[in-house]
Structure 1
Amino acid sequence: MTIITNPSSFTLVLISITLVLALARRFSRFMKPKGQLPPGPRGWPIVGNMLQMIINRPAHLWIHRVMEELQTDIACYRFARFHVITVTSSKIAREVLREKDEVLADRSESYASHLISHGYKNISFSSYGENWKLVKKVMTTKLMSPTTLSKTLGYRNIEADNIVTYVYNLCQLGSVRKPINVRDTILTYCHAVMMRMMFGQRHFDEVVENGGLGPKEKEHMDAIYLALDCFFSFNLTNYIPFLRGWNVDKAETEVREAVHIINICNDPIIQERIHLWRKKGGKQMEEDWLDILITLKDDQGMHLFTFDEIRAQCKEINLATIDNTMNNVEWTIAEMLNHPEILEKATNELDIIVGKDRLVQESDISQLNYIKACSKESFRLHPANVFMPHHVAREDTTLAGYFVPKGSQILVSRLGLGRNPKIWDEPNAFKPERYLDGHVEKSLGVTLMEPDMRFVTFGTGRRSCPGTKIGTSMTIMLLARLIQGFEWTLPIGKSSVELISAESNLFMAKPLLACAKPRLAPSLYPKIQI
């Protein structure tokens, strides 16, 4: 439990609560449920469980602790006038994301989501409606279509080659036993692939010859993760909208700075490309996602997206293409280092299916079932964030027989599903074999998707991620290349990796450090392609 010790912060909290109390009568009509709500902790009049949420940080630990004490897989918390309903059951999760998918298809509003999306102009944060359907269709049928992904395969191949050479070069800088920052390596790949596919270039301006990220890329990456943290945080202003803009919990300053940095990096490229296509005649063909967004037209021949809408989609791609892959691969390698027999099995699979005379390719992924099982187990145990983005009830409905008022926020717990002992045998153990031994996927091949919602990878239903295929390709390619190209061992003096999550998200609390030794012929580590 964390107690507020900063007097100024506590004063702001008291002021906020006082303002809420002053408006109690105005909001009282929202607080009279028409049926039995899911079980939850007792709260105060008007403010509900706001004070408990503020005192108990990080909030997600308190939320799950309450659910354990109540022995329930569905719980209801009231933060001011908002009902927040959390779910840790696969059966109820399927009800949320399939049976009641359309009814629960809206999104909640917040200062962070409004700023990141330029006024809810992207898929992730916009309300369910015609504009959302249009953008989702563009993402699905244009940016993430098989044709476009095939066309951009060359970009992904370049960065898959670059990452093994980058690590190879790091191995040559000093002692073979000198630890490598695995997280930085993974982020180098993730950011470079995202940049190539979105903008058709690896760097914003200054080229880094050794294959790593330049200063501007690192700043861009840090801003992306800060924006994500702000979005997923349980901030006071998420539930007391009239306090937005006062920076009562400092999160608003952080998200403003993050979005400003992302804009400084992205906007010049977007503006220059719009000028090229709409003023100077464009190129011979569309080469990347930005080209597609700029050139799309409606039935009347008008450009489909404005500058603000394009930058909103670009920012969406920034956020969506990096965190899952980075988090998953780092945790997977960490778990493998703690279980050398699993790392050996994964290496043997690559040696048998791919061999040591060529580098693994995307076309090999379908056969790498053990590698995929390892990645899938990491998605179960170590999701990037505790909850899926909010689903909001568009009308009164029910879940698991309980009443859910219109406007309620539904939070499906990635962590709660993945570690639910009612669903999983040995829920805290890293066991990739659970997806292979006697499992239906053994004959069909392992996929990263989880159709029964026993845990979450890329989501499902209307609000599912349209980039499931590219997300799978990036994650498995990176993991396979790192395992095929190098022998990974613990640093000298270390007997295991500390598997501790951060508090603001579920990334590893400390970046993973490990030693790498090349295991392929030197000729298989190509030169860096800038």
Structure 2
Amino acid sequence: MDHYSIFLLSHLQLQVLWSPFIILVIFAITFLRGLGSHLLKKSKKQTLPLPPGPKPWPIIGNLPEMLANRPTFRWIHNLMKEMNTQIACIRLGNIHVIPITCPTIAREFLRKQDATFASRPTSITTSLISRGYLTTTLVPFGEQWKKMRRIVSNELLSTTIHHQFQHKRLQEADNLVFYIFNKCKNNVNNDVGLVNVRHVAQHYSCNVIKSLCFSRNHFGEGKKDGGPGLEEEEHVDAIFTLLKYIYDFSVSNYVPCLRGLDLDGHESKVKKAIQIINKYHDPIIDQRIKEWNDGSKTDREDFLDILISLKDANKNPVLTAEEIKAQIIELMMAAVDNPSNAVEWSLAEMINQPELLQQATKELDRVVGKERLVEESDIPKLNYVKACAREAFRLHPIAPFNVPHVSVKDTIVGKYLIPKGSHVVLSRQELGRNSKVWSDEALKFKPVRHLKSDVVLTEPDLNFISFSTGRRGCPAIMLGTTMTVILFARLLHSFTWTAPSNASRINLAESHHDILLAHPLLARPNPRLQPQLYTASNSPSSEIIF
């Protein structure tokens, strides 16, 4: 890129965000040479049409429209509805982005042609988070992905390890109950005892994965009420910052020569978040590696120990310190969003439909009783509770789209050409709300639609997306299911939940910028079990940091 283009880009960042015309001018200058060759280039292989979509500008595609219609996911969904299509092609730069809102078409991509769409896109944010593509989820298809996928699936997320570390998850479930009970004690004056369910659910999820990774659920001393301290708040906020910007339709994702200019401001936010996370993670990881190297540590007590202790045939470490650090961050990211979001939305919907709360607690009382707390061994029998969680995954997914899949070659899906390098994004939002699948009540929270003899949270037919499927499917289905159901079951079994005194209902409006609740769920809990079940003496640890 020439100096004049750089000058324009660096001095017109604000205008870039608002004016498609300026964007068009800038890109036209930047890609003047490329324009000539682009116009001369004629594809001989395109015998079939691309999926329907807006007419792109030369070179820059539909980037001006994308930038003029934030948030991008709403623009894409509205565009597809206007065009009456369930598959589209939107060219951003020279990348074909293929959004899908139909389960039948989605299955064509991720079941029938799974191998063709087994790669991932590259970007500044994914490169930073994965430390140069050293992890599992974010890594393009290749040997590094195969290596890390095998390690994560077989060494960290196996059934054996899941059962071996059950006590760590149980301790965090106990801490959850004790913390909320302490909040209830203050519930004597109007809404003093209100609980921010989003806050509680996110910190529970993060505490579980911290305990699994590091054998600790906190980095600081916490607050006097047993809640998370400033260190935990900062850490969780950083994790969710990475999740927010990882695939947020940044301009530089589609025009590689713009990487480093940070036109959207995403790169600086991601770097700051990573710096915060490294501040807490790296000293623990470095010290643990030292302990294993000098022989003072020999027992595998958590995920970190497992990753460090892996040896090849020559007794050399299988993973570098950089690989371990990157993979730990990815594990944190993968564990915190789905459970916390599903439980917050479920509880909000059920407070507005008290009969659903009654049915869930009735099941819990029948299966568990009131003489003990619900445990993981109860999960197979909690079909209604799981149906409620499953309905939240359907109606209120954590993100509008799944992690993009990249085609490794030209292929045909239905009557359309899907070019090599296309980014295929399945719409979590519209798959789960597709009226052709879920009827005219698709927008109603209705758990009974999922009830059968054995309810599971997975959906292999892609009628909605809870855990991704196929070669790039989520290897942590067992852990994710357990975390989600226990979090939800503990909240429902241990407490009754009502709206704040100044509201008759919970406001279920979605945020404009994402599809979370527009305002975190504030609700009033009241204990419903025997008082002795809420005492800290029932916990394996007397120290409660939540």
TM range, smaller chain: over 0.9
Larger deviation, residues 393-402 vs 503-512: 503-512
Partner Cα distance (2:285, 2:39) in 1? 47
Residue 296 (structure 1) aligned with residue 310 (structure 2):
yes
| Residue 394 of structure 1, aligned match among 408, 433, 436 | 408
TM-score (normalised: structure 2): 0.92
| Residue 147 of structure 2, aligned match among 125, 134, 143 | 134
Q: Secondary structure at the match of 1:488?
A: strand
Q: Secondary structure at the match of 1:74?
A: coil
- Per the alignment, residue 480 of structure 1 pairs with 489
Residue 347 (structure 1) aligned with residue 361 (structure 2):
yes
Instruction: Quote how far apart the aligned CAs of 1:173 are.
Output: 2.1
- Per the alignment, residue 517 of structure 1 pairs with 526
Partner Cα distance (2:205, 2:72) in 1? 29
- Per the alignment, residue 34 of structure 2 pairs with 23
RMSD: 1.8
Partner Cα distance (1:30, 1:347) in 2? 65
For residues 347-401 of structure 1, the C-alpha deviation after alignment (integer angstroms, 9 at most, x for no partner) is 1110111000000000000000000000000000000001011100101111222
The correspondence of residues 210-221 of structure 1 with structure 2, limited to 5 A, is 210-221=225-236
Partner Cα distance (1:165, 1:469) in 2? 25
Q: Secondary structure at the match of 1:38?
A: coil
Instruction: Quote how far apart the aligned CAs of 1:25 are.
Output: 3.6
Partner Cα distance (1:282, 1:366) in 2? 41
- Per the alignment, residue 112 of structure 2 pairs with 99
Residue 114 (structure 1) aligned with residue 114 (structure 2):
no
Aligned residue type for 2:264: D
- Per the alignment, residue 4 of structure 2 pairs with none
- Residues 365 and 243 (structure 1 numbering): CA distance in 2 closer, same or farther, change over 3 Å? same
Q: Secondary structure at the match of 2:435?
A: coil
Larger deviation, residues 27-36 vs 512-521: 27-36
| Residue 329 of structure 1, aligned match among 336, 343, 347 | 343
Partner Cα distance (1:98, 1:282) in 2? 47
- Residues 282 and 387 (structure 1 numbering): CA distance in 2 closer, same or farther, change over 3 Å? farther
| Residue 248 of structure 2, aligned match among 230, 233, 244 | 233
- Residues 5 and 19 (structure 1 numbering): CA distance in 2 closer, same or farther, change over 3 Å? closer
- Per the alignment, residue 217 of structure 2 pairs with 202
Instruction: Quote how far apart the aligned CAs of 1:68 are.
Output: 0.8
Aligned residue type for 1:412: L
Residue 318 (structure 1) aligned with residue 327 (structure 2):
no
| Residue 290 of structure 2, aligned match among 275, 290, 297 | 275
Aligned residue type for 2:406: V
- Residues 209 and 143 (structure 1 numbering): CA distance in 2 closer, same or farther, change over 3 Å? farther
Partner Cα distance (2:510, 2:126) in 1? 24
Partner Cα distance (2:514, 2:216) in 1? 30
- Per the alignment, residue 505 of structure 1 pairs with 514
Partner Cα distance (2:42, 2:105) in 1? 24
For residues 110-134 of structure 1, the C-alpha deviation after alignment (integer angstroms, 9 at most, x for no partner) is 1110100000111111111122111
Larger deviation, residues 178-187 vs 149-158: 178-187
C-alpha contact 2:292 2:298 (8 A) present in aligned 1:
no
C-alpha contact 1:502 1:509 (8 A) present in aligned 2:
yes
C-alpha contact 1:67 1:73 (8 A) present in aligned 2:
yes
- Residues 27 and 8 (structure 1 numbering): CA distance in 2 closer, same or farther, change over 3 Å? closer
C-alpha contact 2:155 2:161 (8 A) present in aligned 1:
yes
- Per the alignment, residue 461 of structure 1 pairs with 470
Partner Cα distance (2:463, 2:427) in 1? 11
Partner Cα distance (2:431, 2:67) in 1? 25
Residue 125 (structure 1) aligned with residue 134 (structure 2):
no
- Residues 174 and 341 (structure 1 numbering): CA distance in 2 closer, same or farther, change over 3 Å? closer
| Residue 420 of structure 1, aligned match among 434, 439, 448 | 434
C-alpha contact 2:117 2:407 (8 A) present in aligned 1:
yes
- Per the alignment, residue 275 of structure 2 pairs with 260
Aligned residue type for 1:49: N
Q: Secondary structure at the match of 1:487?
A: strand
Partner Cα distance (2:149, 2:376) in 1? 26
Partner Cα distance (2:511, 2:386) in 1? 25
For residues 320-347 of structure 1, the C-alpha deviation after alignment (integer angstroms, 9 at most, x for no partner) is 0000011000000001011111011001
Q: Secondary structure at the match of 1:139?
A: helix
TM-score (normalised: structure 1): 0.95
Instruction: Quote how far apart the aligned CAs of 1:282 are.
Output: 4.2
- Residues 21 and 427 (structure 1 numbering): CA distance in 2 closer, same or farther, change over 3 Å? farther
- Per the alignment, residue 439 of structure 1 pairs with none
Q: Secondary structure at the match of 2:108?
A: helix
Q: Secondary structure at the match of 1:84?
A: strand
Instruction: Quote how far apart the aligned CAs of 1:26 are.
Output: 5.1
| Residue 72 of structure 1, aligned match among 63, 77, 85 | 85
Q: Secondary structure at the match of 1:515?
A: strand
Q: Secondary structure at the match of 1:423?
A: helix
Instruction: Quote how far apart the aligned CAs of 1:20 are.
Output: 3.6
For residues 163-205 of structure 1, the C-alpha deviation after alignment (integer angstroms, 9 at most, x for no partner) is 0110000111242752211111112211111110010111123
- Per the alignment, residue 199 of structure 2 pairs with 184
C-alpha contact 2:511 2:517 (8 A) present in aligned 1:
yes
Instruction: Quote how far apart the aligned CAs of 1:28 are.
Output: 5.7
Structure 2: any 5+ residue segments left out of the alignment? Answer: 1-11
Aligned residue type for 1:507: L
C-alpha contact 1:94 1:453 (8 A) present in aligned 2:
yes
C-alpha contact 2:17 2:68 (8 A) present in aligned 1:
no
Aligned residue type for 1:277: W
Partner Cα distance (1:494, 1:91) in 2? 42
Residue 44 (structure 1) aligned with residue 49 (structure 2):
no
Q: Secondary structure at the match of 2:455?
A: coil
Partner Cα distance (1:483, 1:275) in 2? 43
Instruction: Quote how far apart the aligned CAs of 1:504 are.
Output: 3.7
Q: Secondary structure at the match of 2:467?
A: coil
| Percentage of matched positions with identical amino acids | 43
- Residues 517 and 43 (structure 1 numbering): CA distance in 2 closer, same or farther, change over 3 Å? same
For residues 420-450 of structure 1, the C-alpha deviation after alignment (integer angstroms, 9 at most, x for no partner) is 11111111011100012xxxxx23x100011
C-alpha contact 2:88 2:98 (8 A) present in aligned 1:
yes
- Residues 347 and 30 (structure 1 numbering): CA distance in 2 closer, same or farther, change over 3 Å? farther
Residue 358 (structure 1) aligned with residue 358 (structure 2):
no
Aligned residue type for 1:375: A
Instruction: Quote how far apart the aligned CAs of 1:408 are.
Output: 0.6
| Residue 490 of structure 1, aligned match among 493, 499, 508 | 499
Q: Secondary structure at the match of 2:412?
A: strand
Structure 1: any 5+ residue segments left out of the alignment? Answer: 437-441
Instruction: Quote how far apart the aligned CAs of 1:502 are.
Output: 2.4
Residue 367 (structure 1) aligned with residue 381 (structure 2):
yes
C-alpha contact 2:201 2:343 (8 A) present in aligned 1:
yes
For residues 226-283 of structure 1, the C-alpha deviation after alignment (integer angstroms, 9 at most, x for no partner) is 11111121110010111111111111111111111111111111111111112x2143
Residue 285 (structure 1) aligned with residue 294 (structure 2):
no
C-alpha contact 1:120 1:126 (8 A) present in aligned 2:
yes
The correspondence of residues 83-98 of structure 1 with structure 2, limited to 5 A, is 83-98=96-111
Partner Cα distance (2:477, 2:468) in 1? 9
Q: Between Structure 1 and Structure 2, how many residues are aligned? A: 520
C-alpha contact 1:27 1:81 (8 A) present in aligned 2:
no
Partner Cα distance (1:324, 1:307) in 2? 28
- Per the alignment, residue 246 of structure 1 pairs with 261
Q: Secondary structure at the match of 1:322?
A: helix
